[in-house]
Structure 1
Amino acid sequence: MEKKDEKMLIDREEMVLKGKVEVVGNLIAAKLSGGNIEFFSFGEYFEANPLLEMIEPHAHLKNQIWSDGIIHSFLTSNDITLKIKMTAYNNTLVYHIQNLSPMRINLKMRGSLSTFSWFNPDFRDKIAEMANVHFNFHDGILEGSYGGSYFICVTSNGSMTADIKGSYAIYEIKSNLLPRESFSFAVLGDSSREKVITYSKTVLNNSRMVEDMKKKWIKDIISKIPRLNTTKPEYLLLWKYMWYIILANRATVWNNPALKKPFTMPSKFALRHQWLWDSSLHAIVLSLYDVKMAEEELLNLFEAQKLDGRIPHEIFLSKEFCKLFWGVDDYSPWTTQPPVLAIAVKYIMDSGGEKEFLIKAFKVLERYDEWFRKARDADKDQLMAYIDYLESGWDNAVRWDEAIRLFEKNPFKYKSKYKEIRMAPVEAVDLNCLIYIQREVLAELAEKLGLHEKAEEYIRLANETANKIMLYMWDPENRFFFDIFEENHEQIKVKSPAAFFTLYAGIASKEQAEGLVKHLLNPKEFWTEFPLPTVSADHKEYDPKGYWRGRSWINVLWFDIMD
């Protein structure tokens, strides 16, 4: 791309970024590497690596830029110059090559499409069988069907052949391009086979239509983002891009009884489910953009609540994948996640949420709090316990190591109190700070809805939890809050930023807060290059590259910044 063309893009478009190689639609996500679509996924139904690879001609990347959801690339080799564009909108991906060379070129491409398995070959055939996945090739179009509910087609204006191998297909495409002629390639998904085939022909004849719809969508969302008068000019692009990310990760799934409403995926490239605390945090952000959208973000979670009151920690797009991963015949496992939901409801309430939504939220939160008391508080002390490291949200954190070791040493001891359990029960600092806040929110909702006795009940329960946090979790010698084992209230001497949740909740006293801040600002503990690692940097197991064993996570950071 010439400098003048690049400047025109920067002047004309909302967002222009170098080094960004991803495009996303609704369920579609793809990455462009040079002239190759090296990664592709369509929800939890289909995937490819690569989706499309250029075999001939051999050309190298000269320049690439991402502009308002469209990737512009230039490939060159000797006298050959190719201009490539790729974008995704809704459930359509389009890839376009224009021959800018003075001579004819012969294009040869190959690619693949597989049943979704998170690129795990052991899962692929099993899921294909469970979901009745079929591939079919006719008239230059490769079709895929997942359970008769999700249809996909791969097509181009070149000459295409395909070889179907059960749970996946491979294909080859050839095209001869005269100077200024173009090659188009498209992937489309829909709930109807007929629609996806018909629309694919429209897209091939007018790929610019998809680009225009993408640009319009971006301009529309950017026009509605909150304006910050104090934003420095150099941060304006970052501000736009952050809003683009959360809104571009919104998704709508059809024919899924557990995901009837749109929601936000943490990532359309890796984390395609709806998670409990992720969506709660997304709703907090969305309440600043569109309160109805924020309400909508939580509705699937409300509907997913089980008869006993538990809200599951994740909702899969694919029931088959959930069954293979968790061993349950459902869209959700048996775990929950950090109860951030009440905080999201509070933000929505303060942003003018509808009364109907608040009534529903109160009922859901009340049942959820009752479930915690019945299912995560065996000693009935109003301190709730995590019994599985994955429901903590902190997955493989160092703070669970001893609890896992104790469970593995004597699992029957703990299974007598909890049916489903994978570590000795831990009454965690952050969990109980969130329970305290949940009860405060329930009290406020109850008052707002005229339920005065309920409000008093939840104020009493909140205070009881706060008092127990102060009684058992504070270590005056170390001036720090520690997790405790449920069975004996022994402190687990692992310093983690969970302690700082007491500041967010307003539980810590002034003197305790001063002690915590000293730990927070100590570069040998938590004030590292990327602050707030998930375990203190002076711990022997600290690993700044370890998943939850020393990395910094934005969700944990948010609670501590908001203290």
Structure 2
Amino acid sequence: MKKTLLLGLISFLVVACSGNEIEYKKEINRENYINILNIQGEPKEFTYFEPRKESDKLGTNYINSFVDLGAWHGYYQPEYKKYNLYGGFAGPFYLAEEYAANLSESFNKIEILNKETNKKYNLSEAEVKFQYIPGKLIQTYILDEISLRLELIFVTNRTALIKTEILNKTENVLKLDLNWSGELYDKLGKWNEKNKRYEYISLKNKLKNSENGVLVDFKKNRLVWDYLIGEEAEFKIKHSLPVETKIYSKKYISKAKSLEILPKKEFVSYTTESYTFTRDESKKENILLEEILKNPEKYYKENANRWQGYLEKTIGKSNKNQKYDIVAVKSIETLITNWRSPAGAIKHDGITPSVSYKWFNGFWAWDSWKQAVATANFNEELAKNNIRALFDYQIKKDDKIRPQDSGAIIDAIFYNKDEERGGDGGNWNERNSKPALASWAVWETYKVSKDTDFLKEMYPKLKEYHEWWYKNRDFNQNGVAEYGGMVHKFNNTSDEIILAAAWESGMDNAVRFDVDGVGSDDIGVKVLENKNYEGELVGYSINQESVDLNSFLYAEKIYLAEMSKILGYSNDRKYYLESAKSLKEYINRNMFDEKTGYYYDLQIGENGEKKLLVNRGKGTEGYIPLWANVATKKQAAKVVQNILDENVMNTYLPFPTSAKDNPKYNPKKYWRGPVWLDQAYFGIVALDNYGYKNEAKELTVKLFENSEGLLGDAPIRENYNPENGEGLHCSNFSWSASVYYLLYKNYLK
């Protein structure tokens, strides 16, 4: 009997690890990375979620989450000893078009009752294990008579699939009743910082019966800006078992017919959970659900193979599990969790900055460029689509609102367009563009994919965007651009236009954009009007030619020249190379300061006078010429001295956005000190470009070793304190994940 019991347990454990032996062999790499990101917690009914600490008070979800395939809902694991959550996955949370809310603390919990003893198996008495492996959540509960295992994966961009396995560990037939239950949150709360409390509004969500499950009807819930959701949206649970569902206001219980499990045998059932926005989506998903529940194991194998592919393309097949591998895998998990599929105004798949932050569930331009460069290495189509998503809204010549901006890529797009475009969203932003990195993203994606058709598709669009900078952001038409703003109803004062220009740079509150300037001889930031040949206003510039923008534009000319060579456009190639040469000479002649050995923005006056803004101190923008290969070797050597100086850029965590010797340096104040990983990446590449390869690797190691929690189970943060590595602001941040991925692949692997 002992031998039989042992064989039964071994059989269960094999299934528990993988589902079957074939899949287990395919998952070896995945299982080296269990719980490298802590996603455990107890979800509350908060719109903006509960602050983790002071730096998160503006609305970061204190629980990290799991999402896949671009779905708009996701899950958490329960915390240990939160017995009220046992038997189901915590949440889910769902994106109410733009803002996240939790549907429930745990909406689909299983209860198992022994029909003969009329006793419910108490999961709080079980040996419990919660596991998050790349692409899958697992829960195991081991009791004396039974073992319960739950596995959750995503199978479409709207549906999650849960496998429920119950093993009869006894020598007898077990007769069981299975129930699933949950309760909706009926209110929504957000933090009122002024009053230091949560304020609540009531929701109109209703539970309804559906085939073998239950449905949440969101009704007309366009109540407040914090919560926008259409009346056709629904969340639906469907079981492979026939169930009878009863609804009690905000609670439900679904009961299956009694079942029997033979001694040492296992019972398996499946459940789907779908979140859709429209009736059409719901109808299409209903058809898919039939197929999913007919052949569910097919989807578990597809999930295993897809995630194994991500890992093999990143780490390789050697399965060595080296020290920094976990950062690469955590980066993939972060990017995939932030993946959103087409919905509302979003036409292509893309990656948001972070599902964990209240304002970050849309696509930003330069975020998307960075994310594409990393993602192309393990998911080429997602990378291409992330680029396409922004170009879907490239301004056309016949645009009814701003035809003067033909060619421009706008700052950010969301599920909801803004009022001017016929929507009711407030995050959609056409006040400004973002730094000129689109051609870099396309080129780097092409280098991985070798997809000439993609290059051919994007090239004319990139040309138009490149030309827009010189039509609308070159005040004196000298071939050197400035940051600025669109002709837009919100850009109605100098301060608002300067704000838009700072947003356009991506470095929102950097010292170089301080309106009053620095020092008595600094006239400060002024607004200049850009007009076309007919004298019509087409946009605004600020009165400084920014060194990073023009270095990006120089690099863009080189990338466009390379693309034109491949596509056979010889005249274009010649033009871009000639204009690149001219711009390079201008940057090196006018934007480099010999005394400090660094590059700075160049202030321009309406009468042609110029002033190098050394007085505003050093910032990360000053080494972008090295990233772009603009600098001469002699100039680069002096910049590198600054990068490697512990009192300038080589802090405990290197590359503070304002150098440590900048008078306005603040290690915790957004772009005035904290380390943003994209800027750090540009700095590492800058070193590498000029032959400082050992130094590039040394500083890369510091970025990995000294970032809080990176090598543990903490999330990847938006930025970090340069003096102690503390994670700041938003968690699970995509471009930081992209940078860690690229640094791993290029400098540590």
TM-score, length-scaled by structure 2:
0.60
Q: CA deviation at 1:306?
A: 0.7
Task: Map Cα deviations across residues 398-439 of structure 1 (whole Å, 9 max, x no partner).
Answer: 432337999xxx999726448798994442221110001111
Residue 262 of structure 1 is aligned with which of 332, 349, 367?
Answer: 349
Task: Map Cα deviations across residues 234-265 of structure 1 (whole Å, 9 max, x no partner).
Answer: 44454455445445654431564x52x33333
**What do you get for the CA RMSD once the two structures are aligned?**
4.9
In the alignment, does 2:93 pair up with 1:40?
A: yes
In the alignment, does 2:258 pair up with 1:172?
A: no
In the alignment, does 2:160 pair up with 1:93?
A: yes
Amino acid across the alignment from 2:416: S
Name 2:185's counterpart in structure 1.
Answer: 112
SS in 1 for 2:683: helix
Residue 314 of structure 1 is aligned with which of 398, 412, 426?
Answer: 412
Q: CA deviation at 1:24?
A: 0.9
Residue 252 of structure 1 is aligned with which of 341, 357, 367?
Answer: 341
Query: C-alpha distance in 2, partners of 1:556/1:334?
Result: 24
Residue 188 of structure 1 is aligned with which of 244, 254, 274?
Answer: 274
Amino acid across the alignment from 1:437: A
SS in 2 for 1:23: coil
Please say which of residues 217-226 and 201-210 is displaced more in the overlay: 201-210
Name 1:364's counterpart in structure 2.
Answer: 461
Name 2:743's counterpart in structure 1.
Answer: none
SS in 2 for 1:65: strand
In the alignment, does 2:440 pair up with 1:343?
A: yes
Amino acid across the alignment from 1:428: S
Query: C-alpha distance in 1, partners of 2:528/2:553?
Result: 24
Residue 665 of structure 2 is aligned with which of 517, 538, 542?
Answer: 542
Amino acid across the alignment from 1:436: Y
Query: C-alpha distance in 1, partners of 2:394/2:564?
Result: 20
Task: Map Cα deviations across residues 481-506 of structure 1 (whole Å, 9 max, x no partner).
Answer: 11233435431523111111111111
Name 1:161's counterpart in structure 2.
Answer: 247
Are the counterparts in 1 of residues 99 and 361 from structure 2 also a CA contact under 8 Å? Answer: no
Change (3 A) 1:264 1:529: same
Show the 5 A alignment for 1:322-333.
326=426, 333=430
Name 1:451's counterpart in structure 2.
Answer: 569
Amino acid across the alignment from 2:97: E
In the alignment, does 2:87 pair up with 1:20?
A: no
In the alignment, does 2:515 pair up with 1:402?
A: yes
Change (3 A) 1:208 1:292: closer
Query: C-alpha distance in 1, partners of 2:151/2:474?
Result: 56
Are the counterparts in 1 of residues 98 and 414 from structure 2 also a CA contact under 8 Å? Answer: no
Residue 52 of structure 1 is aligned with which of 105, 120, 125?
Answer: 105
Amino acid across the alignment from 2:471: K
SS in 2 for 1:112: coil
Are the counterparts in 2 of residues 305 and 311 from structure 1 also a CA contact under 8 Å? Answer: yes
Task: Map Cα deviations across residues 261-300 of structure 1 (whole Å, 9 max, x no partner).
Answer: 3333343444332322222223323444465664444333
SS in 2 for 1:530: coil
Query: C-alpha distance in 2, partners of 1:144/1:504?
Result: 49
SS in 2 for 1:24: coil
SS in 2 for 1:548: helix
Please say which of residues 262-271 and 478-487 is displaced more in the overlay: 262-271
Please say which of residues 91-100 and 173-182 is displaced more in the overlay: 173-182
In the alignment, does 2:429 pair up with 1:429?
A: no
Amino acid across the alignment from 2:101: A
Change (3 A) 1:349 1:89: closer
Please say which of residues 81-90 and 103-112 is displaced more in the overlay: 103-112
Amino acid across the alignment from 2:437: V
Query: C-alpha distance in 2, partners of 1:395/1:160?
Result: 52
Q: CA deviation at 1:385?
A: 1.4
Query: C-alpha distance in 1, partners of 2:512/2:148?
Result: 53
Q: CA deviation at 1:375?
A: 1.0
Name 2:632's counterpart in structure 1.
Answer: 509
Change (3 A) 1:423 1:37: farther
Are the counterparts in 2 of residues 43 and 268 from structure 1 also a CA contact under 8 Å? Answer: no
Please say which of residues 447-456 and 76-85 is displaced more in the overlay: 76-85
SS in 1 for 2:371: helix
Change (3 A) 1:350 1:201: closer
Amino acid across the alignment from 2:561: A
Amino acid across the alignment from 1:20: N
Query: C-alpha distance in 1, partners of 2:449/2:161?
Result: 40
Change (3 A) 1:306 1:206: same
SS in 2 for 1:189: strand
Q: CA deviation at 1:80?
A: 12
Are the counterparts in 2 of residues 295 and 353 from structure 1 also a CA contact under 8 Å? Answer: no
Name 1:168's counterpart in structure 2.
Answer: none
In the alignment, does 2:597 pair up with 1:479?
A: yes
Higher relative contact order (CA 8 A, sep 6+): 2
Q: CA deviation at 1:316?
A: 1.4
Name 1:142's counterpart in structure 2.
Answer: 216
Query: C-alpha distance in 2, partners of 1:398/1:251?
Result: 34
Q: CA deviation at 1:480?
A: 1.2
Structure 1: gaps spanning 5 or more residues: 164-170
Query: C-alpha distance in 2, partners of 1:230/1:204?
Result: 33
Are the counterparts in 1 of residues 482 and 541 from structure 2 also a CA contact under 8 Å? Answer: no
Are the counterparts in 2 of residues 68 and 214 from structure 1 also a CA contact under 8 Å? Answer: no
Please say which of residues 379-388 and 38-47 is displaced more in the overlay: 38-47
Query: C-alpha distance in 2, partners of 1:429/1:444?
Result: 23
Instruction: Number of aligned residue pairs: give it.
Output: 541
Query: C-alpha distance in 1, partners of 2:569/2:295?
Result: 58
Query: C-alpha distance in 1, partners of 2:367/2:379?
Result: 18
Amino acid across the alignment from 1:49: N
Task: Map Cα deviations across residues 117-150 of structure 1 (whole Å, 9 max, x no partner).
Answer: 999999999xx9xxxx986734542234755775
Query: C-alpha distance in 2, partners of 1:291/1:79?
Result: 47
Are the counterparts in 1 of residues 619 and 658 from structure 2 also a CA contact under 8 Å? Answer: yes
Q: CA deviation at 1:560?
A: 1.7
Please say which of residues 190-199 and 171-180 is displaced more in the overlay: 171-180
Task: Map Cα deviations across residues 412-471 of structure 1 (whole Å, 9 max, x no partner).
Answer: 972644879899444222111000111122233334444333333322322232222223
Task: Map Cα deviations across residues 508-551 of structure 1 (whole Å, 9 max, x no partner).
Answer: 22222122112111222221222112111233543434433322
Are the counterparts in 2 of residues 84 and 98 from structure 1 also a CA contact under 8 Å? Answer: yes
